[in-house]
Amino acid sequence: MPGRCHASIGLLLTLVACTQPPVTFSAPDQIVLGESPGVFVQGLEPGVEYTISAELADAFERVWAAESRVVADRFGEIDLSTSSGASSTDALALLHRMRMPRPPSDDWEPPPPNDFNQIMWSVALDGITLASADTRQWITPPGMTGERLLGDVAAEFFRPAQAGTRSGVLLLGGSGGGMDWARRTAALLAAQGHAALAVAYFNFEDLPEHLVELPVEYVEAALDSLIARPEVDPARVAIVGYSKGAELALLVASRRPDVGSVVAFAPGSAVFQGFRPPDYPVVSSWSARGEGLPFVPNAYDERFFETFDGMYLWYRTLAEHEAFDAAAIPVENIGGDILLISGVDDQIWPATFMGEQIVARLGVNESEREVRHLAFPEAGHGIAAPPGEPLSSVAERLGGTALGNGRARQEGWQAVLEFLAREPYL
């Protein structure tokens, strides 16, 4: 076996007469988030178990690590690039299972983020490293920069590299506000050939700080600016939203027949109560023409304030049938097809349940539009991104398992790319 042509590993590694071919570790120099790392090791002893390790320095320079023990095949090779992402030993799963060996201290201040993660791969036998390789994993594709729009809408436009008119995609993030998720996702979609507009709708610069009675006309104005761009084909316009942004995406699309399709990650099925701490007024999240839209109020009770069990509160809230009937999003008015993606173990809100409510409403109203709901049993709320990053802490905070969230990201992202690539939407 490698390093054992004679009795000792240390001696063997220095012998030039050994006939065993050298161990080589192949991995791409650069990939974009969502692409398979394509890890391949050759020159091993068939049938012997080796340790494959990965260490990742993320965009904030925090270090993550994981390892797997893998048996070389009959050719003396290990290929970690061919499985579906559900195995604990493939390269993507290795990244998803990573944890921080030395978490930052409580007073850690994140530095300005890089546009990439740096991954260090290695293969070892009996604690001795035989070969290694490095991969730069771009979070923002190289050369892909946003153009800040002028005017009243806080948005960045990401132009596709290809010439000609393309599909236009508007991105809406979740209840944290800001533009980070939308900007990051827009850049990745632009790299796939879409004209993408990342929109902030609260908690950003001069926008409202809290998610309370935000005007839907604001997002409609952003949509108009996207449709008017020369790069965009007006017949191929989509809205992609995550969590609270998915609720908003479905709501806006129900008001705008020119929206050709909707992707809703962790969707909401109705308009819900707004969020403004510390007083938490009982008002709508959204408004139109200056008036709050009908909404489902949070069904607080004594048990909730004893346990602060968020999922208990959500199911109580959804059981307010009269309020729900008045506030349910009229998804049957959406002019295009709908892709819903949820994690069954979502610990933020019952996205799978609400996704099924959306499907049922479309069926009852005999909608002719296609609707597809991908519900992943071992995934939680953190599914709205391509695969390839550490997910252990995401699972602990938002539900699911690291591998379950990884599979949801892998299959969900591929479904989104295929959904948005259709010709034409309207």
Least confident range of 90-94, 153-157, 195-199, 224-228:
90-94
- One domain for residues 396 and 366: yes
- One domain for residues 205 and 258: yes
- One domain for residues 111 and 191: no
Instruction: Count up the domains in the chain and report the number.
Output: 2
- One domain for residues 57 and 166: no
Cα separation of 68 and 44, whole Å?
A: 16
Q: Which residues form the domain of 324?
A: 147-420
Q: Helix (H, G, I), strand (E, B), or coil: what is residue 370?
A: coil
Contact 156, 186 (CB under 8 A): yes
For the segment 416-423, the average pLDDT, to the nearest whole number, is: 92
CATH of the domain at 49: 2.60.40.2240
Domain final residue pick, 78, 103, 138: 138
- One domain for residues 158 and 81: no
Contact 384, 243 (CB under 8 A): yes
pLDDT at 82 over 80: no
Rg of the chain in Å (alpha carbons): 24
Amino acid at 316: R
For the segment 2-23, the average pLDDT, to the nearest whole number, is: 52
The reported pTM is: 0.91
Asked whether residue 13 is domain-assigned, the answer is no
Percent of the chain at pLDDT > 70 equals 93
- One domain for residues 67 and 186: no
- One domain for residues 131 and 152: no
Asked whether residue 233 is domain-assigned, the answer is yes
Asked whether residue 4 is domain-assigned, the answer is no
State pLDDT tens for residues 23-73.
999 999 999 999 988 899 999 999 999 999 999 999 999 999 999 999 999
- One domain for residues 173 and 298: yes
- One domain for residues 413 and 288: yes
pLDDT at 3 over 50: no
Q: Helix (H, G, I), strand (E, B), or coil: what is residue 348?
A: coil
Asked whether residue 123 is domain-assigned, the answer is yes
Cα separation of 60 and 266, whole Å?
A: 26
- One domain for residues 207 and 185: yes
- One domain for residues 127 and 272: no
- One domain for residues 265 and 400: yes
Cα separation of 108 and 111, whole Å?
A: 9
